[in-house]
Amino acid sequence: MPLHVSPAPAPALRSVLAALGSPTAVREAHTPALRSVQGSLSPELPLPVHVLDRIVPSETAPRTRLAGWRFLIRSGERAVAAADTMLTADGWTFSHFFEGPYLASTERAVRQADAATAHYQPRLLSIPELYMLTLWLHDDTGADAAGGALAPTDVLVPLAPAPPGITAHRPHRVADLLPVMTLRVTPAPLPELPGLPGLLGSPA
């Protein structure tokens, strides 16, 4: 099994288990699939969720910040929802349940990575500037899942739906994908307009 899944903080797991055991929390969740399940539910595949707040062209190893831990909620062999936790002043706590396209896309990306031969530590990376979520395959399997920078040799797998021009589920080395992301967030320079000196540049 090439993927080395890091254990989630115990309080984060306990908070999700408590939410699953609360009829009110499940009933009020905006997840029809979760509410319709008859039987036991279990949180599995904990993944740390990191955020890349800003894409900086000059950074070869951008820093990320840990925003939470995400669990897939399974009923039997099927993932019916996901649960997010967040860090508060009182420690890790349950945030919310959700479902949607990222759920199936995460499962698919994890299966693809697990079938490969290389060994990675799986994480999720959110890139708000591009409205993009990726499976982040960190090449240091023994690293602290809460920290670290994007290494050039790490692999990012964009999840569906991916931004225009970026193909979902196609693995990219960070060194290859970062320039593409940089182009997408860098405004194109305004063209020089002939006959209008002094408006866009120095007077002729």
Give 97-155 pLDDT, tens digit per residue: 999 999 999 999 999 999 988 999 999 999 999 999 999 999 999 999 998 788 889 99
Residue 55's pLDDT band (boundaries 50, 70, 90)? confident
**DSSP run (H or E) holding 147:** none
* pLDDT value of position 197: 46
Is the Cβ–Cβ distance between 125 and 133 less than 8 Å? yes
**How far is Cα of residue 74 from the mean position of the Cα atoms in its chain?**
19
Is the Cβ–Cβ distance between 87 and 4 less than 8 Å? no
* pLDDT value of position 164: 87
The runs of H, that is alpha helices, within the chain are 10-20, 23-28, 32-35, 101-114, 174-185
The runs of H, that is alpha helices, within 122-201 are 174-185
Is the Cβ–Cβ distance between 170 and 158 less than 8 Å? yes
* pLDDT value of position 23: 87
Handedness of CA 186, 153, 47, 166 (dihedral sign): positive
Mean pLDDT of the chain: 87
* pLDDT value of position 199: 43
d(CA 171, CA 158): 7
Q: With CA atoms as reference, report the closest residue to 3 among 173, 82, 118, 108.
A: 118
Percent of the chain with pLDDT over 70: 88
Task: Count CB neighbours of 90 within 10 A.
Answer: 7
DSSP state of 195: T
Residue 200's pLDDT band (boundaries 50, 70, 90)? very low
Residue 194's pLDDT band (boundaries 50, 70, 90)? low
Residue 191's pLDDT band (boundaries 50, 70, 90)? low
**How far is Cα of residue 23 from the mean position of the Cα atoms in its chain?**
28
What residues does 156 pair with on adjacent strands? 136, 172
Q: What is the pLDDT of residues 148-157, one digit of tens each?
A: 788 889 999 9
